[in-house]
Amino acid sequence: MPPALVDSHCHLDFPDFEGQTDEIVARAVAAGVTRMVTICTRLSGEPKVRAIAEAHDPVFYAAGTHPMNVAEQPMATVEQLVALAAHPKFVGIGETGLDYHYTADTAKVQQASLRVHIEAARRTGLPLIIHARDADDDIARILSEEHRAGAYSCVMHCFSSGAALARTALDLGFYLSMSGIATFRKSTELREIFAAAPPERVLVETDSPYLAPMPHRGKRNEPAYTAHTAAVGAEIFGLSAAEFAARTTANFDRLFDKAARWTPDA
């Protein structure tokens, strides 16, 4: 049997998986991925990810407004997000964050949306799920300011930013999530950043259908491929595949404790 892993971030509601969810989930389970968290990037998509989670025991979900979508979506409210969190399989707030790569022109509204999501994470006790791209300084500043105003938990999803943001996040008690990017040949600096992190603060994810790890790079990603990223993670930390899987699963259970407590008859 393959080591038991958790895909902490995927997008099973995306068109790439239309009509194939049963097969995708079954392949993940066969590959040792015992649980996965599917994320919606627009609150209007929450019913679809909720339905996927309700239909598949291994699937949990989170919802928020992706920073690249904030200009075209109504601003989420804290009350909306808190209400969604009442669902037994709703386990995280987001993804939210800042993305200045393509959408720097909406920086101010992205920042406002981020603060809304942080307050919802604070009120619900659920982890914040952060997307950060080309916005390291502002992300570090806002996360730090808000943490001083009141603690909350957080994962830096698909971490591929610089060492300074990694250190800020770790100093705040947050987690770094390793995606298929860490398996790419030219990602030496990123692997070094992970190597410097405490292994008890690392998760693994696919961000599928994007960022397929080696040897599937360039193809559609899916939760079953978590094992390829985990194999690289094990090498980074000098652990066996089973040890790394056990460590990252324990990390997931600590951060996403609502998912850890869930039972099928909950």
Q: What is the largest CA-CA distance in the chain?
A: 49
All residues at 6 or more sequence positions from 207 whose CB lies less than 8 Å from its CB, including other chains: 9, 10, 11, 157, 158, 179, 180, 221
CA neighbor of 246 nearest in space, from 1, 4, 2: 4
Note the Cα 180 to chain centre separation in Å: 13
**Residue 218: predicted pLDDT:** 92
Tell whether residue 117 is among the known ligand binding residues.
no
**Residue 239: predicted pLDDT:** 97
Q: Is pLDDT of 265 > 80?
A: no
Note the Cα 82 to chain centre separation in Å: 19
3-state SS of 101-170 is HHHHHHHHHHHHHHHHHHHHHHHHCCCEEEEEECCHHHHHHHHHHHHHHCCCCEEECCCCCCHHHHHHHH
CA neighbor of 155 nearest in space, from 8, 16, 7: 8
Show the domains of the chain with their CATH numbers: 5-261 (3.20.20.140)
The string of pLDDT tens digits covering residues 57-75 is: 999 999 999 999 999 999 9
Tell whether residue 7 is among the known ligand binding residues.
no
- Looking at every residue in the chain, the average pLDDT score rounds to 97
How many Cβ atoms are within 10 Å of 123's Cβ, its own excluded? 16
Q: Is pLDDT of 11 > 70?
A: yes
The string of pLDDT tens digits covering residues 82-122 is: 999 999 999 999 999 999 999 999 999 999 999 999 999 99
Tell whether residue 265 is among the known ligand binding residues.
no
Query: What is this structure's pTM?
Result: 0.96
**Residue 266: predicted pLDDT:** 59
Question: Are 249 and 4 in contact, with CB atoms under 8 Å apart?
Answer: yes
Work out the average pLDDT over 1-9. 94
CA neighbor of 197 nearest in space, from 258, 153, 155: 155
The string of pLDDT tens digits covering residues 115-146 is: 999 999 999 999 999 999 999 999 999 999 99
Question: Are 136 and 160 in contact, with CB atoms under 8 Å apart?
Answer: no
Distance separating the N- and C-terminal Cα atoms of the chain: 28
- List the helix and strand counts (H, then E) for the chain: 11, 8
Using alpha carbons only, what angle is made at residue 10 by residues 7 and 14, rounded to the nearest 5 degrees? Answer: 155
For residue 61, what are the β-bridge partners?
38, 90
CA neighbor of 76 nearest in space, from 32, 24, 112: 112
Tell whether residue 207 is among the known ligand binding residues.
yes
Tell whether residue 131 is among the known ligand binding residues.
yes
The string of pLDDT tens digits covering residues 196-247 is: 999 999 999 999 999 999 999 999 999 999 999 999 999 999 999 999 999 9
**Residue 1: predicted pLDDT:** 82
Q: Which two tokens stand for residue 242?
A: 């089973």
Tell whether residue 9 is among the known ligand binding residues.
yes
The Cα 51–Cα 73 span in angstroms is 21
The Cα 68–Cα 169 span in angstroms is 22
